[in-house]
Structures are given as C-alpha cells and as structure tokens.
Amino acid sequence: MKECLVRLLCRHRHKKKLFLFLDYDGTLVPIAATPQMARPSDQVKQILYCLIWQKIPLAIVSGRTLQDLESMLPLRGIYLAGGHGGEIRFPDGTVTFFRNRRAEKEIDRLFSWLERLTETHRGFLLEHKGTSLALHFRQVSDARSFQLIKQVKDAWRKEVESSELELLEGRKVLEFRVKSLNKGNVVKLLWAQCPGTIPVYFGDDTTDEDAFRYLRDRGITVLVNHKEKTAPTAARYRVKGPEEVLYILSRLAGKDLATIDKSDAFGGKEEH
C-alpha cells in the first residue's frame, strides 16, 4: 500500500500542489507510554524541514495543546492546530483561539471530578488541555481499567444531553472535547487558505475520522493503523504505522536527508 500511495501522491503532485495534514501521536510519532515521551525523531524533523523547504503546505492537527506542539516541533512556516482546532498558529506566526467559556468551565469541573476518582488508581494519567480533557490509561491493564472507565462513561451518560462537550474513545484514552471543535472543521478552515491544492490527511485515531469524513470526496485520506483492521473508518487508504508515513513523506520530499541543514528550520533551539 505504501508504494501505491507514493505513486498516487506523486502523480497528483505533478498536476496540482498537495496540502499535507498530519496528526501527531500515532501518525507522525509512535504512541508512547506518556504524551511527553512521544517526541519526534531527527528523521521526522528533517523530513518536515524538507517539505517546508519545498513550499508544500503542511499542517499538524492534534488534540495536544498548541504550546505542546510548538515544543515538540519548533518549526517555522507550518500550520499548527492544537486542541482539535481550539488554537491555531498560522505559518506567519499569528495565532487564533476559539473560546467557549461555558465548555471550559465544564472541563474544569470534570477535571476535578476525574482527579478525585483516579487518585487512588495507579497508571491513569489525566491531562487538562484547555479546550479538551484526556484520561489516558495506556499504562493500565484492560482488567484494571475496565471498571473505572465504565464508571466514567455511565456518569457521562447522565450529563451528555445538556453538555457543551462530547466524549470520544480513542486508543487507550477517553477524551472530552468541545463539540464544535473537531479535525474536520480544522481541515475545512485551513484548506480554504490554500485554494487549488489537493488535501491529503494522515491520522490514526477516532478523532481523525471527522477529517476523513470531510475529505472523503475532496482529497486523499489515509488511516495509520494496521492492527485494528475491522474498525470502521471513513479513510480510503491504510498504512501500517508512523514508519510508513515517514517513508511516504520522505519519498514526497525526494531529498537525501543526510545532506539537509536543518538549523534554519529549528532556529538553533534544538540540541543535537
């Protein structure tokens, strides 16, 4: 499939410019035990730099905060959409925030409740991201997480009607997110910035499905997940994991990565 996608993307690229949209965790960088451990390799950074250098529009679309994305990828000249689009940095450095005070208060309240609920359960990781809230349980066995996750979902069912939030179940994570913020809306907004381009979206999880649905008849959609083959998806193509995404991106960049001077892209901030 990866060679087939390389051919498809290169063929399209000859006709029109591509606009690359990439999710971060599980797509660009392998899933790690904790979000802070999922750092981009030098190879990832070099490939992204190559794509920027070639002036291919590039957006990283993630549920992480913008601040978090900026620290992981200190790159200039790309779109960074954090918090599922709640905070977007444009290539010229301007930042737009989409605020929903009522939803943010709800997130604060939920955070306090989940903090109390999980304090005696080892391995659960709670992450307050401003426009969303994530409960990670990657480090907890299924047997141990089952009861607590059920309790959270049962309690949520009573709130859902009146809430400004929605619950998404991802890969070993429950995420409460502001309803109007989703990756489909992010893609729609950013794609409008580069008319005439063909959007290409790579993503690995439930939250990427909004983007897959929006782009279904508009662009090229790729699910990055070979393990859960039966899981329904609106993506048209499928690759095995971040290593295949990287391979495809490097072929698109068409550069000898070893010869690239990346100091300009990282403003000398990176330690190598």
Q: Which is nearer to Mg ion, 26 or 130 (CB)?
A: 26
Return the residues of window 169-198 that contact Mg ion according to CB under 5 A: none
**Cα separation of 261 and 68, whole Å?**
24
Give SS3 for 151. helix
**Least distance (Å) between residue 269 CB and Mg ion:** 25
Find the length of the chain: 272
**Least distance (Å) between residue 242 CB and Mg ion:** 10
Establish if 82 lies at the interface with Mg ion (CB under 5 A): no
Return the residues of window 204-243 that contact Mg ion according to CB under 5 A: 204-205
The pairing of beta strand 173-178 with beta strand 58-61: unpaired
For the chain, the helix, strand and coil percentages under 3-state DSSP, each to the nearest 5: 40, 20, 40
Q: In the chain, what's the furthest Cα-to-Cα distance?
A: 57
Q: Is 232 exposed, middle or buried (0-12, 13-18, 19+ CB in 10 A)?
A: exposed
**Least distance (Å) between residue 24 CB and Mg ion:** 6
Q: Give the helix/strand (H/E) hosting 141.
A: none
Q: Which is nearer to Mg ion, 119 or 243 (CB)?
A: 243
**Cα separation of 124 and 122, whole Å?**
6
**Least distance (Å) between residue 43 CB and Mg ion:** 19
**Least distance (Å) between residue 57 CB and Mg ion:** 20
- 128 CB contacts (<8 Å, ≥6 apart)? 107, 108, 111
DSSP secondary structure string for all residues of 221-254 = EEEE-SS-TTS--S-SEEESSHHHHHHHHHHHHT
Q: Which is nearer to Mg ion, 30 or 74 (CB)?
A: 30
Residue count at the site for Mg ion (CB under 5 A)? Answer: 5
By beta carbon distance, the residue nearest Mg ion is 26
What is the C-alpha end-to-end distance of the chain, expressed in Å?
34
Q: Which is nearer to Mg ion, 87 or 204 (CB)?
A: 204
Return the residues of window 100-139 that contact Mg ion according to CB under 5 A: none
Q: Which is nearer to Mg ion, 172 or 236 (CB)?
A: 172
Return the residues of window 12-41 that contact Mg ion according to CB under 5 A: 23, 25-26
Cα torsion 128, 84, 98, 270 to 10°: value is: 80
Q: Which is nearer to Mg ion, 144 or 240 (CB)?
A: 240
Q: Which is nearer to Mg ion, 87 or 106 (CB)?
A: 87
Q: Which is nearer to Mg ion, 106 or 205 (CB)?
A: 205
**Cα separation of 137 and 125, whole Å?**
6
- Chain residues in the site for Mg ion (CB under 5 A): 23, 25-26, 204-205
